[in-house]
Amino acid sequence: MPEFEALLRAGELCVAFGGLQVLNRVSVDVARGEVLGVIGPNGAGKTTLFNTVCGFVRPESGSILFDGKPLRPRPHQLTRLGIARTLQGLGLFPHLSVLENVIAGASHRVRTGAIAALLASPWAERREHRVRERAMEVLESLGIAAEAPRICASLPYGVRKRVALGRALISEPRLLMLDEPAAGLSATETTELAEIVRGLRERTTVMVVEHHMEFVMNLCDQLVVLDFGEVIARGTPAEIRTDPLVQRAYLGETVEVGDA
Ligand SMILES: Nc1ncnc2c1ncn2[C@@H]1O[C@H](COP(=O)(O)OP(=O)(O)OP(=O)(O)O)[C@@H](O)[C@H]1O
Ligand SMILES: [Mg+2]
């Protein structure tokens, strides 16, 4: 397969909930090694696009190719396929520790040793030890290793967002999908997050949904803009910034928000 082929290729995806067409022939290519931003007003279908790629939502029609092969994953197969995502919000186990939450993201690796673990084999112990070590490395790289034993619920939101990222990173995904990673973060935390994601791009391809425009514009190589379930623009941040259709879509949202 040619190297230039997109890592992820979603073609003409259609998704409807009841009578509502939430995605209408949405096509998105994610090139290897790029950071692709998916932006658009509230309700545009961004999370639904992620859910469809991840197999949480079945499209009515359309195709998804991952690494050139058809992708119809069940959600529990994602990490094994090389895809990890963070959820809009947190999606952590609040009463587990930071370390346990991150280890949960490596579940497929742990599970392969489950039977061996029942037999208490030294091999399974070694494997578990490796996963813990790897989780600590991930926490270290996110600057929160000191929080490893703490219960998530007791930690500030910004730290918990990093834990969620750590949980996605431990599986060493080839495609990392982040749904509003900067939501609820302070300005400093947002800048730090952009740095972290930039640092990941040597190892993984990133798809990110975000409302925070400065974050998106500074971080992403390419942007896709959704509005009412349709792609209304795609291009570099500079191209998108001046696109009249995009400006109109966001103006509509501003007016709505102002009226509310
Ligand atoms: N499970 C569902 N059942 C019915 N409607 C849904 C469901 N999930 C999403 N929707 C609707 O689909 C549309 C798109 O939702 P989606 O969550 O994908 O938008 P979004 O672009 O992620 O918005 P936001 O920026 O607010 O997160 C919305 O109108 C939403 O109400
Ligand atoms: Mg969303």
pLDDT tens over the chain, length 260 residues: 455 579 999 999 999 998 899 999 999 999 999 999 999 999 999 999 999 999 999 999 999 999 999 998 887 888 889 999 998 888 899 999 999 999 998 865 554 455 555 566 666 677 788 899 999 999 999 999 999 999 999 999 999 999 999 999 999 999 999 999 999 999 999 999 999 999 998 899 999 999 999 999 999 999 999 999 999 999 999 999 988 888 888 765 543 333 33
- Give the per-residue pLDDT at 254: 46
Please state, in angstroms and as integers, the Cα–Cα distance from residue 140 to each residue in 35, 121, 143, 214, 259, following that order. 23, 29, 5, 26, 45
- Give the per-residue pLDDT at 85: 93
- Please answer whether residues 96 and 104 qualify as being in contact, where contact means their C-beta atoms are separated by less than 8 angstroms: yes
Spatial distance between the Cα atoms of 7 and 64, rounded to a whole number of angstroms: 10
Q: Give yes or no for residue 16 CB within 6 A of ligand 1.
A: no
Write down how long the chain is: 260
Domains of the chain: 1-82+174-260 (3.40.50.300), 95-172 (no CATH)
Q: Ion ligand 2 — residues with CB under 5 Å?
A: 46-47, 88
Q: Give yes or no for residue 242 CB within 6 A of ligand 1.
A: no
**Residues forming a β-bridge with 21:** 16
Residue nearest to atom 19 of ligand 1 (CA): 43
Q: At what angle do helices 122-141 and 157-169 cross, to 10 degrees?
A: 130
Q: Give yes or no for residue 206 CB within 6 A of ligand 1.
A: no
Q: Which ligand is nearest to the CA of 39?
A: 1
- Give the per-residue pLDDT at 124: 66
Cβ atoms within 10 Å of 159's Cβ, excluding its own: 18
Query: Residues 97, 210, 203, 53: what is their CA dihedral angle, to the nearest 10 degrees?
Result: 90
Q: Give yes or no for residue 205 CB within 6 A of ligand 1.
A: no
Q: Give yes or no for residue 79 CB within 6 A of ligand 1.
A: no
Single out the residue of 139, 182, 180, 184 nearest to residue 157, CA to CA. Answer: 184
- Please answer whether residues 150 and 41 qualify as being in contact, where contact means their C-beta atoms are separated by less than 8 angstroms: no
- Please answer whether residues 1 and 68 qualify as being in contact, where contact means their C-beta atoms are separated by less than 8 angstroms: yes
Q: What is the maximal distance between C-alpha atoms in the chain?
A: 64
- Give the per-residue pLDDT at 250: 78
Residue nearest to atom 31 of ligand 1 (CA): 43
Spatial distance between the Cα atoms of 54 and 168, rounded to a whole number of angstroms: 13
Q: Give yes or no for residue 52 CB within 6 A of ligand 1.
A: no
Q: Give yes or no for residue 44 CB within 6 A of ligand 1.
A: yes
Best residue among 47, 58, 177, 212 to mutate for probing ligand 1, ranked by most atoms within 8 Å of CB: 47
Q: Which residues contact 37 (CB under 8 A, 6 or more apart)?
A: 208, 209, 210, 216, 219, 220, 222, 223, 224, 237
145 class by beta-carbon count within 10 Å (0-12 exposed, 13-18 middle, 19+ buried): middle
Cβ atoms within 10 Å of 20's Cβ, excluding its own: 9
Spatial distance between the Cα atoms of 172 and 72, rounded to a whole number of angstroms: 20
